[in-house]
Amino acid sequence: MKLKVQPIRIKTGKYKIVLNSEDAKELGVRGGDRVQLKNHRYLTAIVETGDMIDIGTVGVYQECCEKLGKECPLTLELIPTSKPSSVSYIKKIMDREKLTQEEVFQIVQDIVRDTLTDIEMTAFVTSTYIHGLSADEIEWLTKAMIDTGEKIEFETHPIMDKHSIGGVPGNKISLLVVPIVAANGLLIPKTSSRAITGAAGTADLMEVLAPVEFTADEIKSITEKVGGIIAWGGATNIAPADDKLIHAEYPLSIDPHCQLLASIMAKKGAVGADSVVIDIPVGQGTKVPTIQEGKKLARELIELGERLGMNVECAMTYGASPVGRTIGPIIEVREALKVLETMEGPNSLIEKSTALAGILLEMGGVAIKGRGKELAMETLRSGKALSKLREIIEAQGGNPDVTYKDLIPGKHKGEISSPADGYVIEFDNKRIVEIARLAGAPIDKGAGVWINRKKGELVRKGEPLITIYSEKDWKLNNALKSAQKDNPIIVEGMLLERVKGLSVI
């Protein structure tokens, strides 16, 4: 069927065209079917139907227009064609049939190439969420995720890497772990993410100090030059399938277990990591509520590492409470830098960072077994970690002379104070993150929450429980209102009063 072309200057993220419903019927296609654009053999487009397009006309979205050349042709001939074979493989997952390596690869490749519709992608994430995948399939999924993106190959080895499962707020430890490891002569090309539902991802944090968007080649050369980097993975083409999958997972608030495993290990595999430490925060409010589940996850990660030729160690960490006392880009970085500069700061941050760095130092063979943490602590105390971080900041294009005192949070500030004397007996991580986000984090770097009292600590009536920072007064107001309405921190006295039915905040 030959149709007049009407370019539509909108990007849809896919190769899409739109037909009048009558033309679609005549052609025998429905929304979601595919057509081949004749004389453009390489180009298969997804069909949408709508009444805004005249009969005899095909609306061609931006991506298709661009692919067709500088100028969209005046007419196009459309030939119905079959769906990508990966759609039938996704159907197999729905029907709980096992896939071959080839089939898994095909699905991942079609995801990366944007040839699947939202409906097809969602069927994939929903059915893997429900049925899971076998260990073989997860291995193939990971390999496919690696092979459909850019890979970094270092000439020297070992390459170290670190990952945190997430779910615990204020987890700024990479800012300490990476320089400690690099200061001991090991290479650690750390790619990291921005917060999606959190208040600050490691990439959001590092961006306070230096640019974080680099190509795979730049990541390699910076790492070779100064020993480490903290880059935003999303700016590279490393394991790009993951970001595409999030498009369908985020709206459903799901993170299929098999994809969690594959996406972590694919990112490590793609940068050529030999040894990886994985931080598994355990406890209420994290992704791993119990020690049992933490152990199971650890075994799965270690096994997947073996299959991929990577040496993996997992560290279960206390995740029920934030790491340190800060949540939000600038105040988190300030807290981390202060530790590097003065060794003053929260014990939870120092302990966790040196413990994980210590494991990497042992895995990399620069500390003898059982003495890694000691070496990490010494690297921190001696100022070597700070110098290394400054080298990394400079190599990434930031100001190496920055000190923690330069990092000033948003100028709008408000407190939530305790209505009673008592101990903090309840502390809601998720609410704290929500409040930091309402205050503007992670986009407004100066926004965040300072935690004055953590779980188990004593507070007097009228003393602050949390301090909220914001760059904009209206965002501060939203955050304060939300915090007052549904207080994230419960002090013992408060709860007793509630039980007695006397006064409620």
Tokens 């904009």 belong to residue: 472
Q: Which CB sits closer to a copy of itself, 12 or 109? A: 12
Rule CB under 8 A: is residue 481 a binding residue for a copy of itself? no
Under DSSP, the state recorded for 371 is -
> One symbol per residue from 121 to 140: x for binding a copy of itself (CB under 8 A), - otherwise; what is it?
xxx--xx-xxx---------
Rule CB under 8 A: is residue 291 a binding residue for a copy of itself? no
> One symbol per residue from 78 to 97: x for binding a copy of itself (CB under 8 A), - otherwise; what is it?
-----x---x--xx--x---
Rule CB under 8 A: is residue 2 a binding residue for a copy of itself? no
Report, in this order, helix, strand and coil percent for the chain, each rounded to 5.
45, 20, 35
Binds a copy of itself (CB under 8 A): choice among 2, 4, 25, 413: 25
The closest of 8, 85, 76 to 43, measured between CA atoms, is 76
Q: Which CB sits closer to a copy of itself, 50 or 185? A: 50
Q: Which span (22-30, 168-176, 293-301, 337-345) binds a copy of itself, by CB under 8 A?
A: 22-30
Positions 428 through 457 that interact with a copy of itself (CB under 8 A): 437, 443
Task: Tell me which of 136, 255, 274, 428 is the catalytic residue.
Answer: 255
Q: Which CB sits closer to a copy of itself, 51 or 155? A: 51
Euclidean distance between CA atoms 471 and 370, whole angstroms: 45
255 a catalytic residue: yes
Binds a copy of itself (CB under 8 A): choice among 26, 66, 102, 473: 26
Task: Please count the residues of the chain.
Answer: 505
Give the dihedral sign, CA 344/345/348/352: negative
Euclidean distance between CA atoms 139 and 145, whole angstroms: 10
Rule CB under 8 A: is residue 8 a binding residue for a copy of itself? yes
Rule CB under 8 A: is residue 260 a binding residue for a copy of itself? no
Cβ neighbours for 341, distance < 8 A, ≥ 6 positions apart: 386, 403, 404
Q: Which span (25-33, 208-216, 334-342, 408-416) binds a copy of itself, by CB under 8 A?
A: 25-33
- At closest approach, how far in Å is the CB of 335 from a copy of itself? 24
Rule CB under 8 A: is residue 163 a binding residue for a copy of itself? no
Cβ-contact 341, 403 below 8 angstroms: yes
Binds a copy of itself (CB under 8 A): choice among 11, 157, 299, 498: 11
Rule CB under 8 A: is residue 30 a binding residue for a copy of itself? yes
Count of CA atoms in the C-beta half-sphere (13 A) of 166:
16
Euclidean distance between CA atoms 45 and 69, whole angstroms: 15
Residue 158: is the preceding peptide bond cis (ω within 30°)? Answer: yes
Euclidean distance between CA atoms 83 and 80, whole angstroms: 10
Rule CB under 8 A: is residue 55 a binding residue for a copy of itself? no
Q: How many residues bind a copy of itself (CB under 8 A)?
A: 46
Complete DSSP assignment for 113-182: TT-S-HHHHHHHHHHHHHH---HHHHHHHHHHHHHTS-----SSSPBEEEEE---STT--THHHHHHHHH
Rule CB under 8 A: is residue 477 a binding residue for a copy of itself? no
Under DSSP, the state recorded for 288 is B
Rule CB under 8 A: is residue 62 a binding residue for a copy of itself? yes
Measured at the alpha carbon of residue 126, what is the angle toward residues 125 and 131, in degrees to the nearest 5? 100
Rule CB under 8 A: is residue 109 a binding residue for a copy of itself? no
Q: Which span (112-120, 237-245, 305-313, 388-396) binds a copy of itself, by CB under 8 A?
A: 112-120
Binds a copy of itself (CB under 8 A): choice among 251, 365, 397, 456: 251
Rule CB under 8 A: is residue 52 a binding residue for a copy of itself? yes
Measured from the Cβ of residue 22, the count of other Cβ atoms closer than 10 Å reads 13
Measured at the alpha carbon of residue 266, what is the angle toward residues 263 and 268, in degrees to the nearest 5? 115
Q: Which span (10-18, 101-109, 334-342, 357-365) binds a copy of itself, by CB under 8 A?
A: 10-18
- At closest approach, how far in Å is the CB of 127 from a copy of itself? 6
- At closest approach, how far in Å is the CB of 206 from a copy of itself? 17
> One symbol per residue from 177 to 206: x for binding a copy of itself (CB under 8 A), - otherwise; what is it?
-------------------x----------
Measured from the Cβ of residue 75, the count of other Cβ atoms closer than 10 Å reads 11
Rule CB under 8 A: is residue 120 a binding residue for a copy of itself? yes
- b/e code 431-466 from CB counts within 10 Å (16+ = b): bbbbbbbbbbbbebbbbbbbbbbbeeeebeeeebbb
Euclidean distance between CA atoms 290 and 292, whole angstroms: 5
Rule CB under 8 A: is residue 248 a binding residue for a copy of itself? yes
Rule CB under 8 A: is residue 264 a binding residue for a copy of itself? no
The closest of 140, 206, 197 to 179, measured between CA atoms, is 206
Binds a copy of itself (CB under 8 A): choice among 40, 92, 151, 247: 247
> 263: helix, coil or strand?
helix
Binds a copy of itself (CB under 8 A): choice among 17, 33, 180, 258: 33
Q: Which residues are catalytic?
A: 255
Binding site for a copy of itself (CB under 8 A): 8-13, 18, 25-26, 28, 30-33, 50-52, 59, 62, 83, 87, 90-91, 94, 117-123, 126-127, 129-131, 196, 247-248, 250-254, 437, 443
